[in-house]
Amino acid sequence: MTEALFLTSDELADLAEPADYVDAVREGYRQRGEGAPAEPRTKLTNEEPPGMFTGYMAVLPETGAMGGYNYGAGFGERDAWFITPLFDSESGEPLAVLDGAYLNPFKTGAAGAVGVDALAREDANTLGLIGSGAQARGQLRATATVREFDSVRVYSRTRENREAFADEMDGIVDPVVEAVDSSADAVSGADVVITATNSPEPVFDGELVEPGTHVTAMGQYDTEKHELDATTVSRAKYVLDLRARTDRDAGSLMAAIEAGAIGVDHPHGELGEVLAGEIPGREDDEEITVFDSGGTGIETVAAAHMLYERASEAGRGTEIEFAPASEAMPGR
């Protein structure tokens, strides 16, 4: 039998700051750039009740961990539950099972922030944010640790939601957070643009993106989700979290290819390749860059292992036992 930890969201809540997630996730993507295995999500859909079951995986050899994410979303309760299994990548033994609800916005936000840090101009000081949910909160809190923004302009379709978001986040992050009345108001003149929506249609006009802007798009992990229009995609150096998503679920990229705005060779490469120095990132201050952050096991394993180590040091968690397959065979 092997002992592992079960860690609840409450037990994870005060173990790390947004910058800690960013550091862990940056290291995970560097390992990916040097060859660490990772696969895009597999998504199974259910018609009645409508819902989806999703999973993805990664191995981070230098971290010494592997695992991924499984979650069910929709179905009868119209909610989502996230489970994160974590294994030792040398022995193969289970280390922990984490309730993934708390860490989800933080690890996803950290991936977006690593993209900003790798691709945005060093002097970027204005952020346009589209979306006002939990993922937008995670993106803002993480990204505010990698650039010194003076102002943040947030837009979402519901006035009450964007104003509540601005009021809340203005007291959490250093830059002034202001709710604006349109996506154009958020994007125009912004040095960094972040989209955190589930929109099936582009959420801003790509003609508004000024030279030198960086865009992180994290809500387009589906063939039918197109947060970015073909104009934005075609004007940008396009970097993905995983290249294999190009023809699987990178919705905006796939739509731009289908429309003939770009060719299949348009993607520049993976974020990990930029971090590992395998390909260049931003090469001048006029370049438009995009990071397509659809969600991978890389940030999940990196963040989960960081939290597991801190929880172990703090004596948190409930021990659970797993039997190896050799002990489960008939006849023993």
From 64-78, 101-115, 277-291, 318-332, the region with the lowest mean pLDDT: 318-332
Q: Which domain holds residue 212?
A: 120-292
320 and 285 fall within a common domain: no
pLDDT range class, residue 328, cuts 50, 70, 90: confident
* Mean pLDDT, range 78-92, rounded to an integer: 96
150 and 280 fall within a common domain: yes
271 and 314 fall within a common domain: no
To 10 degrees, what angle do helices 18-33 and 134-143 make? 80
> Does residue 301 lie within any of the structural domains?
yes
Place of tokens 């937008």: 136
Place of tokens 């037990």: 11
Dist CA 236 CA 11 (whole Å):
41
Q: What is the mean pLDDT of the chain?
A: 95
Question: In this structure, are residues 252 and 226 in contact, taking their beta carbons and an 8 Å threshold?
Answer: yes
Express each pLDDT in 132-151 by its tens digit. 999 999 999 999 999 999 99
68 and 156 fall within a common domain: no
Listing DSSP states for 30-77 in one string gives: HHHHTT--EEEEEEEEETTTTEEEEEEEEEETTTTEEEEEEEEEETTT
* Mean pLDDT, range 211-238, rounded to an integer: 91
Express each pLDDT in 242-265 by its tens digit. 999 999 989 999 999 999 999 999
> Does residue 115 lie within any of the structural domains?
no
For residue 85, what is the enclosing H or E element? strand 79-88
* Mean pLDDT, range 303-331, rounded to an integer: 92
283 and 301 fall within a common domain: no
124 and 15 fall within a common domain: no
> Does residue 177 lie within any of the structural domains?
yes
307 and 160 fall within a common domain: no
> Does residue 114 lie within any of the structural domains?
no
Share of the chain above pLDDT 90, in %: 93
pLDDT at 332 over 60: no
160 and 196 fall within a common domain: yes
* Mean pLDDT, range 281-299, rounded to an integer: 97
Express each pLDDT in 189-209 by its tens digit. 999 999 999 888 999 999 999
Number of structural domains the chain divides into: 2
Express each pLDDT in 12-26 by its tens digit. 999 999 999 999 999
pLDDT at 98 over 60: yes
140 and 21 fall within a common domain: no
pLDDT at 62 over 70: yes
Here the CATH number for the domain that contains residue 186 is 3.40.50.720
Instruction: Please report the pLDDT score of residue 196 as a whole number.
Output: 95
Instruction: Please report the pLDDT score of residue 179 as a whole number.
Output: 98
Q: State how beta strands 2-7 and 94-99 pair.
A: parallel
pLDDT at 331 over 70: no
Q: Per-residue b/e over 297-308, b at no fewer than 16 CB within 10 Å? A: bbbbbbbbbbbb
Four-residue CA torsion sign, 6, 11, 15, 16:
positive
Question: In this structure, are residues 31 and 297 in contact, taking their beta carbons and an 8 Å threshold?
Answer: no
Q: Is 133 exposed, middle or buried (CB count within 10 Å of its CB: 0-12, 13-18, 19+)?
A: middle
For the full predicted model, state whether its pTM sits above 0.85: yes
Instruction: Please report the pLDDT score of residue 330 as a whole number.
Output: 67
